[in-house]
Structure 1
Amino acid sequence: MQNMGIPLRMANAVHRLFGGLNMRRQRVIDALLADDLRLPLVDQCGVMTGPIAISVAAEQAARECYLVCDRIQTADAIQAGIAEVCARRGVSEPVARTLGGYIARAVDKGWWRRRLRKELVRRFEHTSIQLGLTHLRADPYISREIAIAQAAQNNENQKLLELCIATNEYGDVYSLAKLATLGTANKAIRRGELMLRIRGFEEVASVLGHVGMFWTITCPSKFHSVGGTNDGYKDFTPSDAQKYLVGVWALIRSALHRRGIRPYGFRIAEPHTDGCPHWHMLLFLAPHEVEIMERVIRKYALQMDGDEDGAQKNRVKLVKIEAGKGTAAGYIAKYVSKNIDGTGVGDHKTFESGETYVITVDRFGDVELTASQRVTYWAQVWDIRQFQPIGGPQISVWRELSRLDEGALLHADDLIRDAYQATQKVESDDPAVVQRADFARFIWAMGGPQCGRETEIRLASREVMVAGRYETEEVEKPVGVYLARQPQVVYESVRYQWTITGPGESAGSSFAGHRVGACPSPPWTRIAAASASTWTSVNKYTQSAEAKSADQPKNKIVSSPFNAGRISDRNHVRCAEVDHIAVYLRHRKRAPGAPSVHLEYLREKYRDRHEVPVTSLRTLSVH
């Protein structure tokens, strides 16, 4: 311990008096102060680091990657150099199919801006967890700073979607925001689909005589900060805890499959108030398999630190759903709703340290944060998948069936028609006409809840070349469905050809070419994220575009400080696109003995004119 200028004996006395918790917090602060390679969490005014500072850091990182490519010639060395640049800034290196795609990402300010923002937000939130500021008695689930920042980011994304217009080949025009409300991005639709699927599992289980079991699995204590009061906390993040739970379930699933047990149902990832996730799982299986499952789940859920205090009581909990005491879907409905939008839940309750608490609404200025919003922002920040089916058929087949044209099924197999009818919802004032979508009927058509990948109806796909922002790659796009016993007959779904027009573009211009699908891809996969300027010696962050001097060299292009590395400017007008590979090749160091750039220019200029002989060009390059 540093004695801070006082005698060592006194320093030791102070350490004994204020040691433990306070010293751990002091180490967190010291680590932040010593970290001069990554973005600071706040600026000099104590305000959380904003987009301008992130853009400046993104510019510097992209420039450094340019320099790596300039001084290194081999692919392996370039990748190693870029990986080192990424590691120093706390971000993972680019993932690409080709070296060109790898470099294009590394030298793109937009790519760096997104990665640096995610790294900053996660580090800020992790620090809040370490210091005990993310907890029941402070900010439950997620800190107020990150919740407000994430809400602002979501609002900006929504504004951009509203300004992007999609037009199909029939002249139908929608904003991307409108199209998004027609899918599972709409919370009401997402909640309804989840409950439909859970109800379908329950109806199938009832026919088969299977029983429902509701499990809750929690991480060991070393993953929990508990408001900074847990001496055994090992500084794990919520992402680390989620990876632990995924690993535990992988062991459980493998052990059950080896015994011939294939449960089906749903799992929900939900945070404790300190941000550490735990899992709720609603699983259906045969009555004679219940005892085996209990042994297997307890074995692997308690495999790590199973002898710690409270582990046997708190780490694994089981509720058996008994007939006549409510439905399984009704039991899990509150967990689904409270983790989406809170509809119909009433008070948002949480169980912590043996007691039940109510999470109330917080207001910070004009921002209102409900408990469900906090949970949503928590999942977005840590990239945690909240809802996942266990067993059962693929939902992608269900969605593809709903896109089929009924007229194309007149001569289809009965199984295809039955599965198609299961996906159709008919609303009418006539009770005899009303029909609800029936997920249980779909499960039976697919081969039952334990069919695995060997389903009766499968997804048909076609390989297409997709030009992405950084590289062109071959991907599989769904086009319909087919019967496993009749693979040569494909029932194609109805899809539309969409032209996306971005903000500031004319109606005739293509925002990103034509896209095929019932709903277009998210705009951030299509919009160019870099400004039009290449590397210049001008300081782009202290000199505004309006203040350019009259004698500014024409080859020096100055971009607005706000636009640097952004998708669009403040008015949501798309920034110009940069050909990163061309810039990289233009700035790349000339190999020994290779012709100069100027010589190549002259050769290209006089190639058709034949006015200057090649020997003259060589002489010119020497002088």
Structure 2
Amino acid sequence: ALLRKFAIREDREELGNNTGPRFKSELINPRKGTPTSYIAKYISKNIDGRGLAGEISKETGKSLRDNAEYVNAWASLHRVQQFRFFGIPGRQAYRELRLLAGQAARQQGDKKAGAPVLDNPRLDAILAAADAGCFATYIMKQGGVLVPRKYHLIRTAYEINEEPTAYGDHGIRIYGIWSPIAEGKICTHAVKWKMVRKAVDVQEAAADQGACAPWTRGNNCPLAENLNQQGKDKSADGDTRTDITRMDDKELHDYLHSMSKKERRELAARLRLVKPKRRKDYKQRITDHQRQQLVYELKSRGFDGSEKEVDLLLSGGSIPSGAGLRIFYRNQRLQEDDKWRNLY
């Protein structure tokens, strides 16, 4: 009832008695899966749709892989932070406790395993839960769920950064942990690291490495390896893209309709880079009126408008017009542009 109230509060008058478009709840059917699998599938839907290319949404009739892009765009537009934990103790304090437990184990190697690390038993119980990796016990030892942060027993400690940033301000950095029921702070970052620019390897810099797409959560493996695992053919020249020349009409139709929007955009970009092949005897057919109009427009631009220039343009050629631009005739129009800009 509480979730339903928040889901329909903005459009309550418009919805009337039918609140299904904004909120719908039903009991979980064990035959379809467990609650964990249900949540995991919806997280996959909203991250990148990986593994859902073959499934169609019952609501939109489109591929679930494409729906992930729409969800991310909607969340970005409305500043919705998806899959964000709330109502639990800070995860950074959990990480710092695990770091502290590892440091203590190395320094106290002669002590028995499980020996107390902190003097306060309540704080040491929280550290033991974090060290064991039991997040549920860590939550309960910190005070439970939906407890304000000011009541947590262990919190992350910060300090002012000594070195200013490029803009002259002093930011904060993690120092360790602290507790309102104990005095002082415990440092877990004794070694201060500094990011510096990597030294340039002359031989590596001189080598032509080629362009490579940045790694994301969806392509965290080399591109060639991903494509090979998906059953794509590799040609003799090392191209790992799918060879559509071997497909018949039905296979090509199914392949094009199974592509995501991102893949279709990449395909369209590659097609724009292909220089159209012209037959040696190729020549655009225009009427006498269009030919006279072309001659007049050439003269208005400072050209002779001779038969040679007209035939060159009708054959798919171009004439330099200065400043690195060229004029060419396409779709019954005289255009001026850098004709081969996509080939650079």
- TM-score bracket for this pair, using the shorter chain length: 0.3 to 0.5
- Of the two structures, which has the highest relative contact order with CA contacts closer than 8 Å and spacing of 6 or more? 1
Larger Rg: 2
